[in-house]
Amino acid sequence: MSDLIIRPTTAADLPTITAIYDEAVRTGTATFELTPPDLAEMTRRFETLTGGGFPYLVALLDGAICGYAYAGPYRSRPAYRFTVENSVYLDPATHRRGVGTALLRELIAQCEARGFRQMIAVIGDSANAGSIGVHRKTGFKLIGTHRAVGFKFGRWLDTVMMQRALGDGGGTLPTTSEP
């Protein structure tokens, strides 16, 4: 792969991220959103996550943004504070080039460095072999499938649940009440 750089996202990256996500919403089943959010909403989401101490990354291939990944809270209740859910989206032109794997590996490392202990992947569409494969390659295990829980493009869709321990996972107690 030529010159891949992964770095923290900046506000200047958000128009490109918004365009990548727009394409995913309009044409894919990786997300169950039906209407693409605009730049203002994507900016609000970005600020909420980064303001909460969660990593948000972009991948650049030959100098151009080609994908992004972030972690956010798995659930809002305090007992879940050491568990994150990940999201990875790519420009379709860069699929099958290792970008998703590289983004997810860096996201895992950054979540571990922040003290998180578990990462959950909620993968839209059980036919999404690419995402399932990237998660397996980076250490995730299948924990279950929710059958026919989403309806998009005139058909029922599953969500595949995968999980990966971060750092010591559940093997030791956290050293702090905050990740």
Residue type at 95 in one-letter notation: H
Q: What is the DSSP string of 81-127?
A: TTEEEEEEEE-GGGTTTTHHHHHHHHHHHHHHHTT--EEEEEEE-TT
Question: What is the fold of 4-171?
Answer: Aminopeptidase (3.40.630)
**Domain-wise residue ranges, the chain:** 4-171
**CA 33 from centroid of its chain's CA atoms:** 15
Q: If we measure between CA atoms, which residue out of 112, 20, 28, 116 comes closest to residue 59?
A: 20
pLDDT of residue 96: 84
Please list the residues that pair with 152 across neighbouring strands.
Answer: 155
Burial class (CB in 10 A: 0-12, 13-18, 19+), 178: exposed
- pLDDT tens figures, 138-153: 999 999 999 999 999 9
pLDDT of residue 64: 96
pLDDT of residue 95: 83
The pTM of the whole model exceeds 0.75: yes
| pLDDT tens sequence for the chain (179 residues) | 568 999 999 999 999 999 999 999 999 999 999 999 999 999 999 999 999 999 999 999 999 999 999 999 999 999 999 999 999 999 998 888 899 999 999 999 999 999 999 999 999 999 999 999 999 999 999 999 999 999 999 999 999 999 999 999 999 998 888 88
pLDDT of residue 79: 96
Residue recorded with tokens 């900046």: 10
pLDDT of residue 178: 86
CA atoms within 13 A on the CB side of 68: 24
